[in-house]
Amino acid sequence: MDLTVIPGSRIVEVARLAFATPDVDFLCFGESDQPSPAAARDAAVQALMDGETRYPDVRGLPALRTALSGYLSGLHAKPVAESRIQVTASGMAALSVAMSAVIRAGHRVVMHSPTWPNIANAARLHGAIVEQIDLDAQPDGGFRLDLDRLDTMMEGARVFILNSPGNPTGWTATEAELRAIRDIARRHGAWLIADEVYSRLVYDGRTAAPSMLDIAEPHDRIIVCNSFSKTWVMTGWRLGWLVVPEGTSEQFVDIVEVTHSGVAPFIQRAGVAAVGDTGTMERFRAHCATGRALATEALVGLNGVRYRPPVGAFYAFLAVDGLRDSLDLAKKLVTRHGVAVAPGVAFGSAGEGWLRVCFAQSAPLMERAMQRLRDGLRAEMGS
35-92: pLDDT as tens digits: 999 999 999 999 999 999 999 999 999 999 999 999 999 999 999 999 999 999 999 9
What is the pTM assigned to this prediction? 0.96
Rounded percentage of the chain residues whose pLDDT exceeds 70: 99
- The mean of the pLDDT values for the chain is 96
- Dump pLDDT digits (tens) for 297-344: 999 889 999 999 999 999 999 999 999 999 999 999 999 999 999 999
State whether 244 and 322 are in the same domain.
Answer: no
Residue 109, number of CB atoms within 10 A of its CB: 27
In a domain, 43, yes or no: no
In a domain, 35, yes or no: no
Cα dist from 184 to 33, 76, 99, 150, 172, whole Å: 39, 22, 19, 8, 18
State whether 261 and 344 are in the same domain.
Answer: no
State whether 223 and 107 are in the same domain.
Answer: yes
Residue 246 has pLDDT above 60, yes or no: yes
In a domain, 3, yes or no: no
- pLDDT for position 142: 87
Residue 381 has pLDDT above 90, yes or no: no
In a domain, 47, yes or no: no
Distance from C-alpha of 122 to C-alpha of 112, rounded to nearest angstrom: 15
State whether 87 and 199 are in the same domain.
Answer: yes
Cα dist from 205 to 200, 228, 285, whole Å: 11, 21, 11
In a domain, 39, yes or no: no
CATH number, domain with residue 26: 3.90.1150.10
Strands (DSSP E) found in 228-374: 240-243, 305-306, 315-320, 339-340, 342-343, 354-358
In a domain, 36, yes or no: no
State whether 232 and 301 are in the same domain.
Answer: no
- Dump pLDDT digits (tens) for 114-131: 999 999 999 999 999 999
Listing from the earlier edge strand, what are the strands of the sheet with 354-358?
305-306, 315-320, 354-358, 342-343
- Dump pLDDT digits (tens) for 3-23: 888 888 899 999 999 999 999
State whether 272 and 145 are in the same domain.
Answer: yes
State whether 231 and 286 are in the same domain.
Answer: no
- pLDDT for position 215: 97
State whether 70 and 106 are in the same domain.
Answer: yes
- Dump pLDDT digits (tens) for 254-284: 999 999 999 999 999 999 999 999 899 999 9
Q: Which of 276, 297, 315 is the last residue of a domain?
A: 276
State whether 112 and 255 are in the same domain.
Answer: yes
Q: Which of 249, 276, 303 is the last residue of a domain?
A: 276
- pLDDT for position 341: 98
Q: Which of 276, 311, 342 is the last residue of a domain?
A: 276
State whether 343 and 241 are in the same domain.
Answer: no
State whether 254 and 313 are in the same domain.
Answer: no
Residue 233 has pLDDT above 70, yes or no: yes
* Domain membership of residue 343 as a residue range: 10-30+279-381
In a domain, 44, yes or no: no
Cα dist from 292 to 164, 266, 311, 357, 371, whole Å: 18, 34, 10, 10, 14
State whether 235 and 322 are in the same domain.
Answer: no
Residue 302, number of CB atoms within 10 A of its CB: 16
Q: How confident is the model at residue 383 (pLDDT cuts 50, 70, 90)?
A: low
In a domain, 217, yes or no: yes
CATH number, domain with residue 107: 3.40.640.10
State how many domains the chain has. 2
For range 213-219, the mean pLDDT: 96
